[in-house]
């Protein structure tokens, strides 16, 4: 017996069929096809709220935000109690830069349907964009709750709690994100970092190992497993350093200066002043690992020309915003120095050699690019003894005798070496040294 032909779900050409056709096209990414289907509905029924709403969603996806807002508002005028209409209006208003309108629309969506986790998540994003952190945290937690919770909501909650110094709460949020999305590598990376801050080093290593199960070549996870397990390494992977500081750039100065009592750039600038006769200036200075420009801004009054180099494009964007540099280069400092033929009268490196264990190649290149007698001023974290070691923080520490021996090997004279508290780590001072070397000649 032949199978009977299945009847269509909706009568061809009906409003329901056209709406179904449009939504199918939207799911496939065919926005033109979706728009045509919804327009055919509106030709039949100009006030159809579903067609108005879905046309607005298509307009938002195509980047026409004024049209999107107008169409979705028309849908709400026809059917004011449909939660998803308000949710999508909030999303369009957010993209249009109307934070207050976005919040009002999303609040209404959530009032109508508290189970709309994505609307709650978007409301949390809107609150955070306005700096209303308590409300943002509450809504991230709400959006992350339940079996259908939004993993990104838990992840963002972890980031928010971490930025507020609430490490235990951040750990719990990252763990929730990973429960909702097993193998969530960004959450695992941030969990590893939070566990380090909490002094839970074995658990941190476990988080980084979990990343390697998903992405075996991940440079951050490889580096941090080495750091946390005592594996010897000569330097940090450049891709890891670039990615770490790209993620850190937006809050770098607020955390380092505001929370960790970081004043090394000012100390470097004072050391530079001591190296030159009163009133003298340096014709060309190079800020190695310039970051957001803290050290560069401190030494700028002493230089005629200031060049910065850093691995992280996001950090360089911040340095560019802060001004003071005549040129900025996105590069690994060893690769940058190797490719140059010009000379500099001053080199500074603030908390940069922490990511280079073996200093031989760096010192050789600085010596090769130095004018006779050029100062090289930099900070190091102090090692308990020996040459250099990779600490559980992921940064390298250097013994004073080792630095002095490498300097001598490349013709530098050690002009001074001062003990220095570089910043705080988990509330404790991080001890280091502030070196002033003098290039050969």
Residue pLDDT, tens place only, 48-84: 999 999 999 999 999 999 999 999 999 999 999 999 9
Distance, C-alpha 15 to centroid of its chain: 46
How much is the pLDDT for 373? 94
Q: How confident is the model at residue 431 (pLDDT cuts 50, 70, 90)?
A: very high
Sign of CA dihedral 211, 216, 220, 222: positive
How much is the pLDDT for 280? 81
Q: How confident is the model at residue 9 (pLDDT cuts 50, 70, 90)?
A: low
Mean pLDDT of 423-436: 88
Q: What is the mean pLDDT of the chain?
A: 93
Identify the three-state secondary structure at position 83: helix
Identify the three-state secondary structure at position 121: helix
Q: How confident is the model at residue 427 (pLDDT cuts 50, 70, 90)?
A: confident
Q: How confident is the model at residue 359 (pLDDT cuts 50, 70, 90)?
A: very high
Beta strand 375-381 pairing with 346-349 = parallel
Q: How confident is the model at residue 5 (pLDDT cuts 50, 70, 90)?
A: very low
How much is the pLDDT for 11? 67
How much is the pLDDT for 88? 97
How much is the pLDDT for 7? 45
Write the pLDDT tens digit of every residue in 227-248. Answer: 999 888 888 888 889 888 888 7
How much is the pLDDT for 10? 60
Write the pLDDT tens digit of every residue in 388-411. Answer: 999 998 999 999 999 999 999 999
b/e code 295-322 from CB counts within 10 Å (16+ = b): bbbbbbebbeebbbbbbbebbbbbbeee
Domains, the chain, ordered by start: 7-113 (1.25.40.10), 142-231 (1.25.40.10), 249-438 (3.40.50.150)
Eight-class DSSP state of 235? B
How much is the pLDDT for 296? 95
Identify the three-state secondary structure at position 367: helix
Task: Specify whether the CB–CB gap between 415 and 427 falls below 8 A.
Answer: no
How much is the pLDDT for 305? 97
| Cα–Cα distance, 286 to 406 (Å, whole number) | 20
- What is this structure's pTM? 0.80
pLDDT at residue 22 tops 70? yes
| Cα–Cα distance, 360 to 407 (Å, whole number) | 8
pLDDT at residue 428 tops 50? yes
Task: Specify whether the CB–CB gap between 317 and 346 falls below 8 A.
Answer: no
Residues above pLDDT 70, as percent of the chain: 97
Residues above pLDDT 90, as percent of the chain: 82
How much is the pLDDT for 244? 86
Q: How many CA atoms lie within 13 A of 427 on its CB side?
A: 4
Write the pLDDT tens digit of every residue in 136-171. Answer: 999 999 999 988 999 999 999 999 999 888 999 999
Helix ranges, 276-399 (H): 294-299, 313-322, 333-339, 360-368
The full DSSP string for 319-342 is HHHH---SEEEES-HHHHHHH---
pLDDT at residue 333 tops 50? yes
Write the pLDDT tens digit of every residue in 79-105. Answer: 999 999 999 999 999 999 999 999 999
Identify the three-state secondary structure at position 210: helix
Write the pLDDT tens digit of every residue in 299-324. Answer: 999 999 999 999 999 999 999 999 99
Instruction: Count other Cβ atoms within 10 Å, centred on residue 111.
Output: 11
């Amino acid at each position: 017996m032949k199978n009977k032909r299945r009847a269509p779900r909706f009568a061809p050409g009906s409003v329901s069929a056209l709406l179904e056709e449009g939504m199918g096209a939207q799911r496939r990414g065919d926005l033109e096809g979706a728009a045509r289907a919804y327009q055919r509905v509106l030709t039949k029924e100009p006030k159809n709220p579903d067609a108005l709403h879905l046309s607005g969603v298509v307009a938002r996806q195509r980047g026409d935000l004024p049209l999107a807002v107008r169409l979705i508002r028309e849908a709400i005028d026809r059917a004011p109690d449909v939660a998803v209409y308000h949710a999508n209006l909030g999303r369009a208003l957010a993209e249009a830069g109307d934070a207050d309108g976005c919040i009002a629309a999303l609040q209404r969506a959530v009032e109508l349907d508290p189970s709309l986790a994505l609307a709650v998540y978007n409301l949390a994003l809107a609150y955070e964009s306005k700096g209303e952190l308590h409300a943002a945290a509450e809504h991230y937690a709400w959006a992350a709750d339940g079996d259908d919770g939004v993993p990104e909501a838990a992840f963002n909650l972890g980031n928010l709690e971490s930025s507020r110094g609430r490490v235990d709460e951040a750990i719990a949020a990252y763990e929730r994100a990973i429960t909702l999305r097993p193998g969530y590598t960004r959450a695992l990376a941030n969990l590893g970092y939070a566990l380090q801050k909490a002094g839970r080093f074995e658990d941190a290593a476990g988080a980084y190992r979990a990343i390697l199960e998903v992405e075996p070549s991940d440079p951050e996870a490889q580096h941090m497993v080495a750091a946390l397990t005592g594996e010897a390494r000569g330097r940090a992977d450049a891709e890891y350093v670039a990615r770490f500081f790209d993620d850190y750039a937006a809050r770098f100065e607020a955390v380092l200066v505001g929370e960790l009592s970081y004043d090394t750039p000012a100390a470097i600038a004072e050391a530079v002043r001591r190296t030159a006769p009163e009133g003298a200036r340096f014709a060309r200075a190079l800020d190695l690992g310039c970051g957001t420009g803290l050290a560069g801004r401190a030494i700028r009054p002493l230089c005629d020309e200031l060049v910065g180099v850093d691995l992280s494009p996001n950090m360089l964007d911040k340095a560019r915003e802060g001004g003071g540099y005549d040129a900025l280069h996105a590069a690994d400092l060893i690769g940058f120095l190797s490719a140059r033929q010009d000379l500099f009268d001053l080199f500074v490196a603030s908390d940069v050699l922490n990511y280079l264990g073996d200093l031989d190649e760096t010192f050789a290149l600085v010596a090769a690019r130095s004018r006779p007698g050029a100062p090289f001023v930099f900070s190091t974290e102090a090692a308990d003894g020996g040459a250099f070691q990779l600490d559980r923080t992921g940064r390298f520490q250097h013994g004073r005798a080792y630095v002095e021996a490498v300097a001598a090997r490349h013709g530098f004279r050690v002009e001074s070496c001062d003990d220095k508290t570089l910043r705080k780590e988990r509330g404790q001072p991080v001890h280091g040294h502030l070196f002033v070397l003098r290039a050969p000649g």
